[in-house]
Structure 1
């Protein structure tokens, strides 16, 4: 029997001779891609409709608030109240954005490709989480900046008035960041549990909206202590409770419609930190499990 021999054919492939970027660049690429995905950039026109509709709504509200203040001097919404008022829109924005960030990758089976490179499992989840936090903060902080510019350019107190507005804006931007961190942590964790975007979106909406009636029920019970702790059961009222405690001019303080937390402000703050920490930990464990399959 003749001995078989192998032949190597040169079909024109060339070795890569460019720079080999490391972990930091991979993380940055994932983060930027996630941020673009949130707002539909680089995707079809259909994918841009909802996120930019939300951007348009929140910006329009900010422009109206700024215009009313400049014309008649009435403050319809403070910077912090703006974040609270937009919370319903943010819930649905998270319900759409979070599944786009992680559920699509789970369903399409591309995670083994990500993890075949020198990319730690936690970097993938962290990059996606930071992208969602950034997107939500921009969604709230951008309109707040519009409101600030409207107030700064129409103030009668000169530089002193601009300084006062800036002192009001900065805590509100931190407050918007708290909304972003809590909502992104909870939303991304829920979305990471399924590869079906519709199920993920429904789960996110359910977590945020179904907990609110529970808190509302606890808030009308005869026990004052239970009333003041009722906001702990919902992510939305949890954030509002931290704002009521921490902000120098808490939302609803003037009208008496603010969240009643009594002396439990530090409890709300600790609960918010623990909620974020728990969600991030479970998210990292989730992707360690996915990568091990």
Structure 2
């Protein structure tokens, strides 16, 4: 008796639609990451912290706008807003970065991502841009609320509004610097572990443990050490760049070392991104 094989048609069909390629994959990861930053499409529990932080920043902006409308000499500016919200941004980044990358490591979906056509660099770019956008919105939207309050209550007409625009633009640029530096450090740390709690703790530790070093260096008898003390912590590093480039006051005398703060900030962002890319290229090659 001879055996014969039988092919059964169970209805599967080949995909014949458009193949969108890498650009669409990057955009999908970016949109998903931005939505995840604020808990959109996730459980109610995931929405509590990001919207609480966003609510606090908006509330502070509304209060500042109200005070400035009543007290014209109130000098709290857009750059000052970023410096005063720094602790909230630390914890926001500590929660967001692990949610964007540590979860992918833990669930083991990276080999699926990198099968095709997405590359390691595409993944890094999408996650980085999503987190930068989220952090910038967290600072930029309240700054815009402050601007609206000042613009609608100014007594100088169009010239007063234009003055506010000229103040807002550097404030937004400063917010972007905060977003770039905090995102690069946060994603790099979070990419090293699949455990979100460990990643969050590591991110917070980097910012908190470097702050006392600044205090120690700032009281040494060496004037050079005092001027460069802010280089030891990411928070004072950014504030130092703001003091040098925008003239903000951070309580540290930079002396003639202001450009060094800008150079270190650029190098730290670039180095973090290169290490992050190397990390995911290693994962993609496995």
TM over 0.5: yes
- The residue number in structure 1 matching 2:174 is 175
Report the CA distance between 1:98 and its aligned residue. 0.2
Give me the whole-angstrom Cα distance separating, in 2, the residues matched to 1:180 and 1:3: 71
Give me the whole-angstrom Cα distance separating, in 2, the residues matched to 1:115 and 1:78: 45
Give me the whole-angstrom Cα distance separating, in 2, the residues matched to 1:117 and 1:51: 32
1:9-50 CA-partner distances (Å, limit 9, x unpaired): 111112212111011111111111111111111101000000
Q: How does 1:107-146 map to 2 (within 5 A)?
A: 107-146=106-145
Look up the SS of the partner of 1:4 in the other structure: coil
Report the CA distance between 1:75 and its aligned residue. 2.2
Of residues 266, 285, 292 in structure 1, which corresponds to 2:259? Answer: 266
Q: Does 1:61 align with 2:60?
A: yes
CA contact (8 A) 1:251 1:258 kept: no
Report the CA distance between 1:77 and its aligned residue. 2.0
Give me the whole-angstrom Cα distance separating, in 1, the residues matched to 2:114 and 2:48: 32
CA contact (8 A) 1:104 1:196 kept: yes
Q: TM-score, normalization: structure 1?
A: 0.95
- The residue number in structure 1 matching 2:278 is 285
Look up the SS of the partner of 1:153 in the other structure: helix
- The residue number in structure 2 matching 1:41 is 40
1:40-88 CA-partner distances (Å, limit 9, x unpaired): 1110100000000000000000000000111232426210000000000
Q: How does 1:1-293 map to 2 (within 5 A)?
A: 2-75=1-74, 77-247=76-246, 250-252=247-249, 258-293=251-286
Give me the whole-angstrom Cα distance separating, in 1, the residues matched to 2:93 and 2:242: 21
Gaps of 5+ in 1: none
Gaps of 5+ in 2: none
Which shows bigger deviation, 136-145 or 4-13?
4-13
Give me the whole-angstrom Cα distance separating, in 1, the residues matched to 2:40 and 2:159: 40
Give me the whole-angstrom Cα distance separating, in 2, the residues matched to 1:259 and 1:181: 22
CA contact (8 A) 1:65 1:76 kept: no
Give me the whole-angstrom Cα distance separating, in 1, the residues matched to 2:5 and 2:237: 69
CA contact (8 A) 1:243 1:251 kept: yes
1:60-119 CA-partner distances (Å, limit 9, x unpaired): 000000001112324262100000000000000000000000000000001111011211
Structure 1 runs (4+) deviating above 4 angstroms are none
Report the CA distance between 1:3 and its aligned residue. 4.2
